[in-house]
Structure 1
Amino acid sequence: MLAFRFAIEEINMNSNLLPNTSLGFDLYKIFYHEHLVLKNSVTWLSGLNENTPNYNCRKEHKSVAVLTGSFRAASFQFGTLLDLYKFPQLTFGPFDPVLSDKRQFSSLYQMASKDSPLALAMVSLMVHFSWNWVGLLISDDEKGFQFLSELRAEMKRNKICTEFVNLIAGPGLSSFKEVEMFQSNFIASSAKLVIIYADIDSSFNLIFNRWRHLFTQKIWLTTSRLDTSTTKKHFLFDSFHGTLVFSHRHGEISEFKTFTQTVNPSKYPDDIYLSWLWWMFYNCPVSESDCKILKNCSSQGSLELLPWYHFDVAMSEESHNIYNAVYAVAHALHEMLVQQVETQPLRDGSTGFPPWQLHPILKNVKFHNSAGHEVDMTQKEKVRSEVDILNFWNFPEGLHLKVKVGNFSPHFPPEDQLSLSENMIDWATGFSQTPHCVCSASCSPGFRKSPQEGKAACCFDCTPCPENEISNGTDMDHCMKCPDHQYANMERIHCIEKVVTFLALEDNLGKTLVCTALGFSVLTVVVLGIFIKHRDTPIVKANNRDLSYILLISLIFCFLCSLPYIGQPSTATCILQQTAFGVVFTVAVSTVLAKTVTVVLAFKATSPGRRMRWLLVSGAPNFIIPICTLIQVTFCGVWLGTSPPFVDTDAHSEHGHIITLCNKGSLTAFYCVLGYLGALALASFTVAFLARNLPDTFNEAKFLTFSMLVFCSVWITFLPVYHSAKGKVMVAVEIFSILASSAGLLGCIFAPKCYIILVRSEKNCVKGLRDRVDSRGKQAKFEDLKAL
């Protein structure tokens, strides 16, 4: 009311605006009951105490505009009635989307800005503090639904979740039972942040009273619409200390503060509210009939000395809207009078026009107020205004300091819209530092969010990233897999380049295998030297000297063919590994087969004229070696011609390493080569097993049988172990199988012979052999062996 009176007095003293014309006004009290609002509006229009629609007895003056306040029903009822007469109506309350419908309210103008910037500012603040878990208390009306829609859209875009949304009914519409149930649900909620969007005249007043001394430990975000004092009680109690209030920015009008300092009942004797305040706080006696001051005590006290919860001298947002509304009407009226003066002079200072003619001018008014802010009535949609962020300090109770801690400007780029002084914020009781208003604590790097079933997206568990996956930020939805040439560190934060490795000679395993291969090769050379040195002895002759030489030489190469597996692989070594292994082992196994066949033929050729004797004498078993070897060479040739081995990398077998190894190329060809060797070994084992019971003196079938048993056992064991091993271990398994099978042949076949040659030399003679011939008629066989 004082802002309204101040604006009119300021205009009347302005010689450049409405010169020689004074603005007057009438003040009417608006009741909350809608039928009384309509009744009073008809009374005002007719000018009579009795309601007389469509009749006006006012002859001395006419009203040109009506200003209606924050009570939505009043603006709605007035707007419906005044629109019939096209009477200008300006509302100074909060922006209401219903009243912006020009089809229903063509004569109504809203001075307030839309609340969209408030929603944007609140969400920006939540994003700034990384808050994502909030409760909403929203008025149960069109304004509340509009604000809720805009707020939810911004919250969804910024991944902010709501735990609850409670609608606050209008004044007197909520029962104590409903409020008690609402309070129970609210206190039990886990959300530390609560947004309030309601009018002070809503049922939230009842909630305030119940929460006056309740320690809620909540962070409150609200609008200036709740920053309204009452005559009996505080708005902000201890539970609401630290509330952050968002208000449309409006400049301070310095003259208004001076105006409020000089206001007293003697200056405005018709103002019963001023008389009441002076009677209440300064003990000024008043008349019981008209509540006017009886004694002159206007010099005592000032509005500035009154408690804030009874009177706040600062110009509120609605007061600022009233100020702009009065000036908008004044500018429109000034323009109208100028137009009339140009056409015809005025009579008796009257306006000389019906109020509806003011619309074309009023809707095009544009001016700057005393605070320097532009007021533009031409805009169909109100420009998004800047928002001030205030922090309420109410501790100790009743302090009521409003401290500006930041601002929000929707006209700036998104990263510069919010400006905040965090060190100036005094948080609510129970918070010594910036609170964490989240449903779940942030997942640190190395973890990912795992949604909790049945809960909002902001509620989640933190799950460690799987092996070889990382997350290098907080609250990551997914872990990122490292490339094949990299691996995740222990913390799963970043990827590290893998080390390229292979079964190198410098490794302990490589050195061991090389030394073993060379040792067995030297040992085989020694055995070969012993056999050559004692080549004329009966035991060397009796076991087919030539085949023994071939077998020993092939065993030397069998041990040496494991060396290409050690060291950095190349295309040449990869091809050499498989072909050398296949061919050399074929020679060795086929030689064993030839020796086994020779022994069988020697003991089966009992008659000089039989065909077996001819096969034995002609050396036919020796042809087994080139034939079997030629078949294996054919397999290797087909293998190399179709899908030869090549250098490959294994990035998964060993953590943190990329293993360079030889890929077999065609596994089918590899298993054909290996299977062919197995078939030869199985044939040798079978033949030797059948000949195991021949006389011991001339029979090495038992040794051949055991050697083939060892050979087959090694390679049968090799297959499952080879498939289960990875990386360098797989290569080492193949080398070990080569060395073990070769050592088995060397040890089982030649160790007994070397023992006789070197230790029991008395048995390595013709007499010794004759003495050991079986007495059951095997002399002819001895003669045959002697002839060989």
Structure 2
Amino acid sequence: MCFHKISPSLTRDGDLVFGSFLPLYGVKVIDGKGTALFTSQPNKDCRSYQWLHKNFQQAMALKFAVEEINRNPVLLPNISLGFQIYNAYHSDTRTLESSLQWLTGRTQPAPNYSCRRQDKSVAVIGGATSALSVQMGTLFDLYRFPQLSFGPFDPILNDKIQFPFLYQMAPKDSFLPWGIVQLLVHFKWTWVGLVTTDDLRGEEFLQEVTGEMAKHEVCASFTEKIPVSERRHGESEMDFMPRIVGSAARIIVIHGDTDSLMVLRHSQIPLFPTYKVWIATSHWDITMRPNYVDNYNFHGALTFTYMTSEVPGFESFLKTVSPNKDPEDIILKEFWLSAFQCQDKYKDMELEQCAPNTTLEDLPIFFFDMAMSIQSYTLYNAVYAVAWVLHEMLLRTSEFTSEVTGESWVPHPWQLHSFLKDVQFNNSAGDQVFVDEKRSSEAHYDIRNYVTFLNDTEFLVKVGHFIPNAPAGQDFFMCKEGIDWGFLKEKVPRSVCSDSCGPGYRKTREEGEPICCFSCTQCPEGQISNQMDVDSCEKCPGDEYPNKNRDQCVPKSVTFLDVGEPLGMLLLSIAFSFTLLTNLVLWVFVKFRDTPIVKANNRALSYTLLVSLNFCFLCSLLFLGRPTTATCLLRQATFGVVFTVSVSCILAKTIMVVLAFRVTRPGSRIRLWVLSRVANSVVFICSGIQVILCGIWLGTSPPFPDTDPYSEPGHIIIQCNEGSDIAFYCVLGYMGFLALGSFTVAFLARSLPDTFNEAKFITFSMLVFCSVWISFLPTYQSTKGKTMVVVEIFSILASSAGLLGCIFIPKCYVILLRPERNTQEGIKRRVNSKGTI
């Protein structure tokens, strides 16, 4: 009973006519109780319409294109083009019924019959959505009618086996998922919700966008699919918005067409701000809604819209549209009364109820937009595509002569296909237009911000663009300062699963959680991170170290045992003090060289030992200051040689004491060994072996200056690399062997009369010496940098001081303070008093 509301809403006769199916208004069926239904039922009354006012621009664009073509003296000369516009409001059933009406030419469809007196139909332009295109294409393909779809490009409809006579005019959206992810990455949004239509096109979008999101570590908080069936207010649909609003994601990406997503407006909570940022894709007109007062909370949204050139004259054409100028256009009159709210749905419609001199320009953007939409632009190109195909056919067919002579020329619809596959032209806006087989470029997008004001004015403000095939750096642009974020008062809203990890921290993934959900862990010792949300920390270069916050590498300070620092000055003072003391002892021994206590144990060995101890104290100075090639070569070798000389002298002294007390018979052959040559030979041979070891060391793997940037945080240690650790420990081991030998011999000779021997003093000196160097080895191994050098200097000074103190200080005490004991008589009295020989 409502077919008369679906039948041609707007017509214009012509020599050739095409049909168009546009979603203009919904047919409301009112039952006896006044309840509005959305499906036709018998014995009900068709009372009113639910207009989608913005779609009326599509009808105006189609009308404008036809008038422009008919005025063109070059395109289709002497042939007028007409149209019949049918209503196809978001209903598969209604669209199929409208298609049957178009084919049969009657209000009540008669399948497989054409009731037109003269069939001038050549093509169909329709399909605002993929679902509607499928419904129409399935029917029109039976009759080989060419169908030009102006809805979103759908790869499914491009299947020429299933839809051989369907042609898509909209540009491809292959790079749209990439552009959306570029936007998300630009604002660092990593936790987003995805809303799409529950069809193959929606599934394809989800696969592509989630794949791109995964590459940039952006995660989907939830995925909501909206059925694309006829509008119903079921329970499931009412649950869409509560689930979306209740999610933790503050960024919602919506993909679909205007008709399919209309259900979102009916499921919103009235006057309740959502505090979400909506990102709409190209084919959803976010501004469109059927009523002035609506549950509409998309303020602050960002939407991708196609870049299109302005069609000359279209806006001027819209300004002239008025029902007063075209009183026979009933549909225009109905639109006018509904759009300007000067209609009582239970009374007759009268234009006098509307304000005088009103124009389409006076309507708000959600009712009518003076700027040509992408759907209107695609419709405009589709009309011209039909015109150019007919023009080519007119030029190439033999009927052209008949047309000139006055006979009518009406091609069969199936004849247009061979021309449609190759058609291309430049429209009045200067853009090149291809039908799908010849399409060579992808869509370019403006990014617009939807802004509403308290006085109900609305704007779509351009804040960026996305051009897929542009050079790197020019393909994506956003102006943050120009964006109004709606109810969100923040500068840039944040939408993340986990708070960002600042510099000095790295992300730690939780098992089983999305990649966007993580915890923050401070960088390990020696590593830094100077950016947000890094997966791993980086090591500093060798000459730098992390600061306290571990977010920056700072240069390391060079460190070595400097003479100018307090510890260096202290060690220098101690070394010079002991050197001075050793020289004083040497002076005492030289001054009192003829006394019995000096002569008792070989004066030459005592002088040699004192001189070598003097060099032992001085060689510690080689360890102070910045290491150089010379100091590195000299210090260990010098230390090894002079200490070996000292220990060799002590060994020689010990041997001399033992031989002196063990050889008692005058004229004994063994007594011949108790000569100075024996002592000199011991010193020479033992020292010579050490010299040979040091020579091999310096010749094969000499020490050299080196740096250690790792042992002490924040410092680069300037040190001497010993070259060969084996050689170094061989030198120390050889000294230890000599010292152990001296200690053993002296220990065995400790019971000899102590008036004329120094075995006990040598025993104690070797005990001190060995204790110092045995303690040195583990301490040396466990320290680094300056501490290692201090340990070795201390060991040199302590062991040298031990030798000096244990061997020579008691003798100096006797020489200087008890001179009466340093005479022959004093020695004899002491021997007799002790009862020793």
Judge same fold: TM > 0.5, yes or no: yes
**Whole-Å separation in 1 of the counterparts to 2:721 and 2:340:** 99
**Structure 1 residues 284 and 141, CA, compared in 2 at 3 Å: closer, same or farther?**
closer
User: What's the counterpart of residue 163 of structure 2?
Assistant: 105
Residues 506, 536 of structure 2: 8 Å contact kept = yes
Distance 1:576 1:285, change over 3 A: closer
Residue correspondence of structure 1 range 113-262 to structure 2 within 5 A: 113-171=171-229, 178=236, 183=241, 185-202=243-260, 205-206=263-264, 208-223=266-281, 224-227=283-286, 229-232=288-291, 237=296, 239-253=297-311, 255-261=313-319, 262=321
| Shift in alpha-carbon separation, 1:308–1:546, aligned structure 2, 3 A | closer
Which of 324, 335, 341 pairs up with 2:392? 335
- 2:637 corresponds to 1:579: yes
- Cα deviation, residue 252, structure 1: 3.8
Deviations for 1:95-132, whole angstroms, at most 9, x for unmatched residues?
A: 12211112221211112112235434433333433433
Structure 1 window deviating more from structure 2 (164-173 vs 589-598): it is: 164-173
Find the residue that maps to 1:134 and give its secondary structure.
Answer: strand
Aligned residue in 2 for 1:385: 443
1:439-470: per-residue Cα shift (whole Å, max 9, x none)?
Answer: 45555555544445444444445555455545
Shift of residue 193, structure 1, vs aligned partner: 1.6
SS of 1:64's equivalent in the other structure is strand
Map of 1:529 onto structure 2: 587
Distance 1:17 1:298 in 2: 40
Question: Deviations along 1:158-205, whole A, 9 cap, x unmatched?
Answer: 443333332222246998664576556534533222111123333661
Residue 84 of structure 1 aligns to a residue whose secondary structure is helix
> CA distance change for structure 1 residues 519 and 15 in 2, over 3 Å: closer, same or farther?
same
Aligned pairs, how many? 776
Quote how far apart the aligned CAs of 1:707 are: 0.9
Q: CA deviation at 1:153?
A: 4.3
Q: 1:221 to 1:613 in 2, by over 3 A?
A: same
Q: 1:708 aligns with which of 753, 757, 766?
A: 766
The structural deviation recorded for 1:39 is: 4.8
For the 8 Å contact 1:486–1:496, the answer to whether it is kept is: yes
Aligned counterparts of 2:402 and 2:682: Cα–Cα separation in 1: 138
Q: Aligned AA for 1:521?
A: T
Give deviations 1:348-384, integer Å, cap 9, x for gaps: 6633321111222233333333433332237533622
Correspondence for 1:2 among 60, 76, 80: 60
Amino acid at match of 1:329: V
- Secondary structure of residue in 2 paired with 1:415: coil
User: SS at the partner of 2:465?
Assistant: strand
How far is the alpha carbon of 1:80 from its aligned partner?
2.0
Task: Please give the alpha-carbon distance, in whole angstroms, between the structure 2 residues aligned to 1:382 and 1:372.
Answer: 16
Q: Secondary structure at the match of 2:486?
A: coil
Aligned to 1:278: 337
Q: Secondary structure at the match of 1:27?
A: strand
Give me the whole-angstrom Cα distance separating, in 2, the residues matched to 1:203 and 1:420: 26
The offset of 1:493, in angstroms, is 5.8
What is the deviation of 1:135?
A: 2.0
The structural deviation recorded for 1:674 is 0.9
Of 32-41 and 293-302, deviating more is: 293-302
- Residue 405 of structure 1: how far off its partner (Å): 2.8
- The residue number in structure 2 matching 1:784 is none
* Residue in 2 that maps onto 1:785: none
Structure 1 residues 60 and 486, CA, compared in 2 at 3 Å: closer, same or farther? same
1:263 aligns with 2:322: yes
Deviation at 1:253, TM superposition (A): 3.9
Amino acid at match of 2:424: K
Q: How far 1:619 sits from its partner (Å)?
A: 6.7
Q: Where does residue 616 of structure 2 map in the other structure?
A: 558
- Shift of residue 557 of structure 1? 1.9
Q: What residue in structure 1 maps to residue 379 of structure 2?
A: 322
Matches within 5 A, 1:613-692: 615-616=673-674, 620=678, 623-692=681-750
Counting only pairs closer than 5 Å after superposition, residues 344-359 of structure 1 correspond to structure 2 as: 344-346=401-403, 350-359=408-417
**What TM-score comes out, normalization by structure 1 length?**
0.88
Q: In 2 relative to 1, CA 668–404 (structure 1 residues): closer, same or farther, beyond 3 Å?
A: closer
CA 1:181–1:122: 2 relative to 1, 3 Å: same
8 Å Cα contact 1:287/1:294 also seen in 2: no
1:535 counterpart letter in structure 2: R
* Deviation digits for residues 262-293 of structure 1 (CA, Å, limit 9, x no counterpart): 321772535346336427856568998xx776
Which deviates further from its counterpart, 351-360 or 170-179? 170-179
SS at match of 2:288: coil
Mapped partners of 1:173, 1:24: distance in 2: 32
Among 820, 823, 827, the residue aligned to 1:769 = 827
Q: Residue deviations 1:533-570, cap 9 Å, x none?
A: 11222222334433322221221122222233334444
Q: Partners of 2:77 and 2:99 in 1: how far apart?
A: 31
Q: Does the 8 Å contact 1:447/1:463 carry over to 2?
A: yes
Q: Residue 783 of structure 1 corresponds to which residue in structure 2?
A: none
Pair 637,371 (structure 1): closer, same or farther in 2 beyond 3 Å: closer
Match in the other structure for 1:786? none
Structure 2 distance, partners of 1:576, 1:264, is: 110
Secondary structure of the residue aligned to 2:705 is: strand
Structure 1 range deviating more: 715-724 or 378-387: 378-387
Q: Give the deviation of 1:37 after TM superposition.
A: 4.1
What secondary structure is seen at the aligned counterpart in 2 of 1:28? strand
The amino acid of 1:229's aligned partner reads M
Preserved CA contact (<8 Å) 1:227 1:235 = no
Asked whether the 8 Å contact 2:709–2:715 carries over to 1, the reply is yes
- Alignment partner, residue 516 of structure 1: 574
Checking the alignment, whether the CA contact within 8 Å between 2:140 and 2:147 is kept in structure 1 is yes
Q: Which residue of 1 aligns with 2:8?
A: none
Residue 394 of structure 1 aligns to which amino acid in structure 2? Answer: T
Counterpart mapping for 1:292-307 below 5 A = 301-306=358-363
Q: Secondary structure at the match of 1:593?
A: helix
* Distance change (3 Å), C-alpha of 1:170 and 1:4: same
Q: Report which stretch shifted further, 40-49 or 665-674.
A: 40-49
Q: 1:108–1:717: structure 2 CA closer, same or farther, 3 Å change rule?
A: same
Structure 1 pair 60–298 and aligned structure 2 pair: CA distance change class (3 A): farther
Name which of structure 1's ranges 208-217 and 585-594 shifts more when overlaid on structure 2: 208-217
TM-score (norm 2): 0.84
Partner of 1:95: 153
Task: Output the amino acid matched with 2:394.
Answer: L
Q: 1:533 to 1:309 in 2, by over 3 A?
A: closer
Q: Tell me the distance in 1 between the aligned counterparts of 2:458 and 2:608.
A: 108
Gaps of 5+ in 1: 780-788
The code of the aligned residue for 2:392 comes to E
Q: Report if aligned partners of 2:399, 2:409 keep a CA contact under 8 Å in 1.
A: no
C-alpha distance in structure 1 between counterparts of 2:697 and 2:341, whole Å: 113
Moved more, 268-277 or 686-695: 268-277
- Letter aligned with residue 486 of structure 2: A
Q: Distance in 2 between matches of 1:108 and 1:557?
A: 105
8 Å Cα contact 2:92-2:135 kept in structure 1? yes
- Change beyond 3 A, Cα 1:419–1:684: closer
Matched residue type, 2:688: L
Deviation at 1:87, TM superposition (A): 1.2
CA spacing shift, 1:273–1:142, aligned 2, 3 Å: farther
**2:799 corresponds to:** 741
CA-based RMSD: 3.5
Distance in structure 2 (CA, Å) of the matches to 1:115 and 1:571: 71
Counterpart for residue 483 of structure 2:
425
DSSP-derived class of the 2:254 partner: strand
State the 1:148 CA deviation. 2.9
- CA shift, 1:664, in A, is 1.9
